[in-house]
């Protein structure tokens, strides 16, 4: 497994070892001991989620306000452009983001530690997207940042996106002093 640190503290790109031959492939998508040793992920995962979306669907940017979730995310079918954004005004990287393409072929995972906003846009015809989460989802605790926040200035690969009504209502981040 290869682990790459990004410009955001704790946000990691993880590339599991993939063993393939004429029959297909095998990969280990999570091993608590290995992920602790090689990636420093020492949190307990309590919930797994799976979403399916069509091309142009943008989900996010979401976060939990008082019970932040760490998320280990990946794609099992299709492709997305995935984002982790620093929304902590006390952080030296506030208003910055990391974007990475996650596909069924590159097998990458993105580790988004608790406290970051997360979202993705579908760049294939359809995608199956999976999340391992370190806390339970609580809809009353959810917050969000506008996908087109001018402070983040995310270079999305698709401009004609499909948003939920909830995601349309989110505001952008404020410049902090």
- What one-character DSSP code corresponds to residue 118? E
| Annotated catalytic residue 131 | yes
* C-alpha dist (Å) from residue 80 to 8, 56, 72, 109, 175: 20, 9, 14, 11, 28
DSSP 57: B
Catalytic residue among 35, 116, 131, 170: 131
Output the CA torsion sign for 36, 76, 167, 6. positive
- Return phi, psi of residue 165, to 5°: -60, -40
CB-count exposure of residue 115 (10 Å: 0-12, 13-18, 19+): middle
State the chain's maximal CA–CA distance in angstroms.
57
**Which among 35, 62, 81, 116 is annotated as catalytic?**
62
Enzyme catalytic residues: 62, 131
């Amino acid at each position: 497994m290869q682990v790459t640190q990004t410009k955001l503290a704790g946000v990691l790109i993880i590339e599991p070892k993939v063993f393939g031959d004429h029959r297909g492939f095998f990969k280990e998508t999570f091993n608590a001991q290995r992920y602790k040793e090689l990636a420093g992920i020492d949190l307990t995962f309590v919930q797994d989620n799976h979403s399916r979306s069509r091309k142009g669907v943008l989900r996010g940017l979401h976060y939990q306000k008082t019970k932040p979730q760490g998320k280990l995310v990946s794609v099992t079918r299709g492709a997305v452009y995935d984002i982790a954004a620093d929304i902590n005004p006390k952080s030296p990287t506030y208003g910055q983001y990391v974007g990475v393409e996650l596909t069924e072929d590159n097998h990458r995972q993105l580790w988004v530690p608790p406290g970051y906003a997360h979202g993705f846009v579908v760049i294939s015809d359809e995608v199956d997207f999976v999340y391992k989460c370190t806390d339970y989802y609580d809809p009353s605790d959810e917050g969000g940042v506008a996908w087109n926040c001018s402070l983040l200035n995310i270079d999305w690969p698709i401009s004609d996106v499909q948003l939920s009504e909830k995601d349309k209502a989110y505001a952008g981040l404020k410049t902090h002093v």
